[in-house]
Structure 1
Amino acid sequence: MVESDEGTPPSLADGDAPSLPTDRESVRDALVEWYEADHREFPWRRTADPYEVLVSEVMSQQTQLDRVVPAWEDFLERWPTAADLAAADRSDVVAFWSDHSLGYNNRAKYLHEAATQVETEYDGTFPETPGELRELMGVGPYTANAVASFAFNAGDAVVDTNVKRVLYRAFDVPDDEDAFERVASLLMPDGESRVWNNAIMELGGVACGKQPRCDEAGCPWREWCHAYGTGDFTAPDVPTQPSFEGSRRQFRGRIVRLLGEHDEMDLDTLGHRIRVDYTPDGEHGREWLRGLLSDLADDGLVRIEEGDDRTVALLR
């Protein structure tokens, strides 16, 4: 049943959610009950420590969650608090990141700097609201809201790819960023960002993936779902993650890992170690390698020293 224009809250625009039922409480209750009855047991879902939540969120960016779990546990064993991380040598943190294939190494740098901010600017106490958390280095709107939600139950409605897919299919929300934001905010119960954001992302990850598993996963929204009723399970375009194998990201990681093992390396030695087809004057030679090193230097991860007879690279 579609809500009448007279009852539409001012936060919604015409056409935002043609299939959103009037009885929103039943919709909310069904999702939360489904989530609380059974969900994936990621370890960061069992903590409200903002540092532990932040580490999980940064690690989860473009990394499969089953790979994040052991890395998250190892990271916290080595640096259990923000104070421990702030006191660590940044090159050790970057080397850990690279060794665990956690994506762009500048995330490790930003995480280290964010921990340092918490210790030096906030007296060791994490800020709690999305706006305040965005002041931390490398913490964007999504991560700030996730930490506020899962650590402090003080966040806004999360809108990620999974949530967009759910809203698009269930309530016929158009593929429009503002519409997704308005509908997600309308649905989230006041003061329940922790359980709600976990629940709706779980729905998108378990029941309403690219290949829906409505009945197998016992989707709690089947009775209202526009896609389930019509059989049309199309969804907004999902960006394709570029291949890691052979990518610049892969070679950047190899550079950081090698420089973490050696005090310094000259260009050609480094080139031959990261790529079997490296030839100084070839397509993948010194010019290509200097480009990678320049990117890493811009990120504050390495420095290049030019000498009379050779050029060397080393971690900052």
Structure 2
Amino acid sequence: MSDAEPSAEEWSLPDDRPAVREALIAWYEDDHREFPWRRTDDPYEILVSEVMSQQTQLGRVVEAWEEFLERWPTTADLADADRADVVGFWTAHSLGYNNRAKYLHEAARQVQGEYGGDFPDTPAELQELMGVGPYTANAVASFAFNNGDAVVDTNVKRVLYRAFDVPDDDAAFEDAASDLMPEDRSRVWNNAIMELGGVACEQTPRCDEAGCPWREWCHAYASGDFTAPDVPTQPSFEGSRRQFRGRVIGTLREYEELEIDTLGHRIRVDYAPGGQYGRDWLTGLLSDLESDGLVELDRDGSDGPVARLQR
């Protein structure tokens, strides 16, 4: 927390909270970005959208989400799928770390095997699913069952920090978000406040242009000081370890198994067995994928180590 930030004792939410709440909900319901997962309360469809959105821009997620659900429309369909096919879909659509596909597949199997095909409906229960952390569990509980807590993501923190001088402190953000959210309305509320941060209170604010409904209460709008907590930037995908993990999976799907040097030359043009991006680098990458249950690495092959997809 910087020296200029208010302490927990110095910040407070507006007294007329019902007006604050209704202004935001009315703004959201009047006009918001249309995403297909906002038109469903199916927990499976919402879980897929949440997992896909973790590392991918929402505009790019729409096509992938629709194609995924066309191929595997229910948890039963996904649970019965070949995991390599699910991982291959993930790679082909550049949806981030492939272990997310593996976890989504395992979660579908849990829903079918442990819950009789019915999703748990509380944040605590949803966290029992493979790969589902607190944020995703709360989002699914909110948007599928209207049974969630207040969502606190980067956009929400920015809004609360600017509008009500909430300090850059996780506990303070949680308290403020919870105090603001109207009871039994987590579905519309969490969508609305995230939308506010996504289209009006961005890093470069668009208060008047987006018709921000909180301008009359917003401290930043009144003062002109739109400082916000630092937001970590996503590392570039091009040239990243994440990119080459995807290339490994995609290549092994095509060839099933490859000797390590052959694989190296197929995934990057500057591969050199003894170089910076050589056997040691590729073995480390494959070992990570092996730990994630995606790749098998046979280190005792007659012509050197051999990599193959795990089945």
Shorter chain as denominator, the TM-score bin is over 0.9
Q: Counterpart of 2:41? A: 48
Q: Counterpart of 2:307? A: 313
Of 5, 9, 13 in structure 2, the residue corresponding to residue 14 of structure 1 is 9
Deviation at 1:281, TM superposition (A): 1.2
Secondary structure of the residue that 1:303 maps to in structure 2?
Answer: strand
Of 67, 84, 87 in structure 1, the residue corresponding to residue 80 of structure 2 is 87
Deviation at 1:312, TM superposition (A): 1.2
Deviation at 1:136, TM superposition (A): 0.2
Q: Counterpart of 1:70? A: 63
- Structure 2 gap segments, 5+ residues each: 1-6
Secondary structure of the residue that 1:26 maps to in structure 2?
Answer: helix
1:84-233 superposed matches below 5 A: 84-233=77-226
Once residues 112 and 260 of structure 1 are traced to their aligned partners in structure 2, the CA distance between those partners, rounded to angstroms, is 17
Once residues 153 and 273 of structure 1 are traced to their aligned partners in structure 2, the CA distance between those partners, rounded to angstroms, is 48
Deviation at 1:270, TM superposition (A): 0.5
Q: Output the TM-score relative to the length of structure 1.
A: 0.94
Once residues 169 and 60 of structure 2 are traced to their aligned partners in structure 1, the CA distance between those partners, rounded to angstroms, is 31
Once residues 287 and 161 of structure 1 are traced to their aligned partners in structure 2, the CA distance between those partners, rounded to angstroms, is 37
Deviation at 1:268, TM superposition (A): 1.1
CA RMSD after TM alignment: 1.0
Secondary structure of the residue that 2:60 maps to in structure 1?
Answer: helix
Secondary structure of the residue that 1:265 maps to in structure 2?
Answer: strand
**Offset from partner CA, 1:122-175 (integer Å, 9 cap, x none):** 000000000000000000000000000000000000000000000000001010
Amino acid of the structure 2 residue aligned with 1:310: G
How many residues are paired up?
303
Deviation at 1:246, TM superposition (A): 0.7
Amino acid of the structure 1 residue aligned with 2:306: V
**Offset from partner CA, 1:53-106 (integer Å, 9 cap, x none):** 000000000210111110001100100000000000001100100110000000
Preserved contact between residue 150 and residue 177 of structure 2 (Cα < 8 Å): yes
304-313 or 48-57, which moves further after superposition? 304-313
Preserved contact between residue 21 and residue 180 of structure 2 (Cα < 8 Å): yes
Question: Matched residues, percent identical?
Answer: 76
Amino acid of the structure 2 residue aligned with 1:166: V
- Structure 1 gap segments, 5+ residues each: 1-11
Amino acid of the structure 2 residue aligned with 1:266: E
